[in-house]
């Protein structure tokens, strides 16, 4: 393991992208991994929901888009992410949940990091079968979680985000994680990528 990553896996240095469809459990894992790796979890979905709640200009711009299950445009997201990654707490590493979601976003991220002489450590692809995704997402009750919106978000994932699997695979950054397992087992698989033991044994 570890080939293709940049070797900077020491605590507080991991620069990680969590990739996977809506409902795969990225948010849950991001919280735990953030603690274990000592880097901030950055969820662009949470940031946008906060902007909507605050009624900021950004919130006004994205509210309808989010409610429909579509993606916010790449230029807007580039601003959001550039600003967030420029904050001091992200300087030693980060865990991105929900960004990038398109190929242009992946290029933007590579550019932001490249300008700082940095690169990603790993991209963790959380894989879960589609019927399980729909079931899980409908168990949550968020405003954008009505079934037709859930299905739209899955369609958008397949069309716009799934190409990132090949993109990061080509760059030897992709690590596949079986997300159709108990939460602790998924965490253990992820920590294994960084050579850290989970609380539960291992990954089969």
Interacting residues with ligand AMP (CB under 6 A): 22, 44-45, 48, 65-66, 69-72, 77, 98-99, 101, 105, 153
Nearer to ligand AMP, 4 or 28 (CB): 28
Distance of CA 190 to the CA centre of its chain: 13
Residue 54: CB minimum distance to ligand AMP, A: 15
Residue 164: CB minimum distance to ligand AMP, A: 11
Residue, CB closest to ligand AMP? 45
In 10 A of CB 128, how many CB atoms?
20
Residue 161: CB minimum distance to ligand AMP, A: 9
Residue 194: CB minimum distance to ligand AMP, A: 23
Taking the C-alpha atoms of residue 141 and residue 139, their distance in angstroms, rounded to an integer, is 6
Contacts (Cβ under 8 Å, ≥6 apart) of 111: none
- How far is the CA of 80 from the CAs of 8, 15, 114, 185, in angstroms? 25, 17, 17, 32
Taking alpha carbons only, the member of 24, 27, 203, 30 closest to residue 129 is 24
Nearer to ligand AMP, 17 or 32 (CB): 17
Nearer to ligand AMP, 69 or 179 (CB): 69
């Amino acid at each position: 393991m570890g080939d293709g990553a940049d070797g900077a896996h020491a605590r507080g240095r991991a620069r990680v992208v969590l990739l996977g469809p809506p409902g795969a459990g990225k948010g849950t894992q991001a919280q735990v991994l953030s603690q274990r790796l000592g880097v901030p979890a950055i969820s662009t979905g949470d940031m946008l929901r906060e902007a909507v709640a605050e009624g900021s200009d950004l919130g006004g711009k994205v509210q309808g888009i989010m409610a429909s299950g579509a993606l916010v445009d790449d230029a807007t997201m580039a601003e959001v992410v550039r600003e967030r990654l420029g904050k001091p707490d992200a300087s030693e590493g980060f865990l991105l949940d929900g960004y990038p979601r398109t190929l242009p976003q992946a290029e933007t991220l590579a550019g932001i990091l490249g300008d700082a002489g940095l690169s990603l450590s790993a991209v963790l692809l959380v894989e879960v079968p589609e019927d399980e995704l729909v079931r899980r997402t409908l168990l949550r009750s968020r405003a954008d979680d009505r079934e037709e919106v859930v299905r739209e978000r899955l369609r958008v994932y397949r069309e716009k985000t799934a190409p990132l699997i090949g993109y990061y695979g080509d760059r030897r950054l992709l690590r596949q994680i079986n997300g159709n397992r108990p939460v602790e087992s998924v965490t253990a698989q992820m920590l294994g990528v960084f050579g850290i033991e989970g609380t539960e044994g291992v990954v089969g």
